Structure 1
Amino acid sequence: MGVETEYGITGKLSPDDTARYLFRPLVERYSSTNIFTRNASRLYLDVGAHPEVATGECDTLGQLVRHERAGDHMLNELAIKAEQALSDDNIGGNVYLFKNNVDSVGNSYGCHENYLIGRDMVLKALGKQLLPFMITRQLIAGAGLLRDGEFLLSQRADQVWEGISSATTRARPIINTRDEPHGDSTRFRRMHVIVGDSNMSETTFVLKIGATQLALEMLEAGYDLPDFELDNAIAHIRDISRDQTGSTELKLKSGGVVTALEVQRAFCSHARTWLDEREPDPDMDYVVDLWERTLDAIETQDFSQVDTEIDWVIKKKLLERYAGRADDAKLAQIDLAYHDIREDRGLFHVLCKRGLARRLTTDEEIAQAVKTAPETTRAHLRGRVLNAADKYGAEVTVDWVNIKYGQERIELQDPFATVDERVDELITRLEADRGE
């Protein structure tokens, strides 16, 4: 599993100029705005002046949420340095980074999820089975958005126009079919999901990824799931975003209808049974428990049991506190400030400190994830090389699969490999070459 998060950026200067200040330390050190960091994640400036962090490969939910949060921390540190540089240049002003998905004029930027699946899975066939789950997942994992006085469950729902395709920016699909396995293409396929919201809530993030992972596991195992293939999946996604009761009716290809809540109920119920068949995992136990409680809350409209754990519920509760005593502009400002990643300024972090939003990580765990790669995947090898190169001042080039040093190239085709003699030998050579 891995997540790519694009951040909104604003400041006293234009987004382009603010981003240049943000990435100045990387350019000064690496002559690039596209690097792999010590924890084996990729940090870069994407098209449209969007800072982006792609986590290293993770194989547990706990590992992934810590490294996803490490991305926030790394960018926040760059923002603090950028503010100092702006002050030194007599410009001044704050640098704001928002982990959301749409700006005030409607431009959208994404949170992309990557799941490793077997090469024998036909992506389009899998996608048709998965689309009903994906378009209704916003009920449990949306980040919420106040737009023109209307509260939406999802920030991405209005930005997605196709079910399955190879596009990413124009006519954005729910599932991207571009075949980039980043591993042994005879064994693995990467399923690239671009419909999801960025989540401030760690618990919602874990639910989003965990529920999707369970759905994929069941489909790969040939689990007997209901046939919810839709007549036109994309036609319903915006309606679901505007219906907090989950009662939006979806037209089935086989005839008849099913509600968005019923689709989620079915997947969740089967996931509960699936837990007894798969390898035990406390993180997944929590996922299914929160999934069930969220669906119960939607059905009863009593959200008290999840109002510290589900992003859109947390945000809606916050906005309702100010309704009637704040105008639309102020409410929009509150909505945006919820996504500010600065821990002493962002409203979500204020809620965490007041016990109104639950955390799963600690500050110490995040600090460790900033400097340490996931230890149970290939990212561990990449991280070892990057740390050695930094220590010995060597010029090493890496990507998701390759490590290059001089004329030597090491391919790491197995995402689960944590030991490799070639990497050991390379690190020894980096140390030896330092003395030359």
Structure 2
Amino acid sequence: MKRLGLVLGLLASPAWAQLGESARPQLPPVPSLRERAATIDASLKERLDTVIPAIMRERGVDMWVLVARENFEEPVVATMLDSEAFSARRRTILVFHDPGEGRPVERLTVSRYGLGGLFAPAWDPATQPDQWKALADIIAARAPKRIAINSSAASAYADGMTLSAWEEMNAALPPELRTRVVRDGTLAIRWLESRTPRELADYPRIVGTAQAIIAEGFSNKAIQPGKTTSADLVWWYRERIAGLKLETWFQPSVGIQRQGAKGMLEGDTVIRPGDLLWVDFGIVTERLATDTQHLAYVLKTGETEAPAGLRAGLAAANRLQDITMAAFRAGDSGNAILARARAAAIAQGITPSIYSHPVGFHGHAAGSAIGFWDNQGPDPRGEGPVRAGTTWSIELMAKAAVPEWGGQVVEFRQEEDAVFDGRQVRWLNGRQTGFYLVR
């Protein structure tokens, strides 16, 4: 916990405020594939050593059984494979057993292949050809009181045990052990949403990489006003990500808001001076995802900054970010945080739309949601508790009338990644407070 507190204390907003060409964030060094693999394996070991015992004891579970098949990995197993294992092999069964009395949690793999030395091989097919019988023998030898499996109607992340796998496992267990199996929808969520000190130390660089790529795209390096289209810029981003040997977890979106035009213009629309540009963008590296939305303004001849009305709209979105972050309370539901933030924003004269979500192994990650763009009220997906040590995409939108555009209502969409330490939410690598300017 001391190390986690130190890492959280080092997280601070960088100097860049994105006010123009000189303030653009610079691309951090991008590790080689070999360096990234070492990071993945070191991080995974830290997670297995620390997160697994904590969440199993938190849930009162002394055994956790996970089952996956090659090219059909369940969400949790996919994050437990070492850096050189790109998928499960044949059928991969992982077993965690807590023997109690402060002893280390056993990590076993009931499969033909080892997993980077992080799990002890526990099945010899030459001795016991039946993999399910081998699993049953392992369970019987340890006689756990509660055997958790991943099964949940509420969350895909916690619903990894397929019907066929359960039927075969159940058939192999003796009757007295079958009654000890519990469907647990929380262990998987806790594993996926919990961030370790090492991950929090790496995350700012990863977020900074995404921010720097956005900044490159929102410049004359990628945009020639009067010629470049929204679609051109989308594919420029895709090519840039691929060139850095990074992954993208969704197709970037680039939209244009324009004086006198209704809604968001996309596709083959040509970017022009006076346009307000928006991007929704996410990368994955070292198994951590980012999710970011930023804005840029295309200067007209003679302009040196965006019109005051647009700048005021971005400032309103920044205030909405502050309000949303201040509404976090450890243990509260996402729905409760949403209601608190909306009430505070409306009281300040802001028209809010809040749809924030966890980020981590997935861009839209495991954990309770805080609103949806199409539902600003209570939602079953927001009923879960918000916990300390989790990372978030603070995603939202403020609407504002822009005087320079004849009172046209403009959407100011913002999304930045942050960490919640249980007391406050802090940006992982700063936020946008001024437009990128395209000349």
TM-score interval, normalised by the smaller of the two chains: under 0.3
Greater fraction of residues in strand: 2
TM norm structure 2: 0.24
Q: Looking at CA atoms only, which structure, 1 or 2, has the larger radius of gyration? A: 2
Q: Which has the higher contact order (CA 8 A, sep 6+)?
A: 1
TM norm structure 1: 0.24
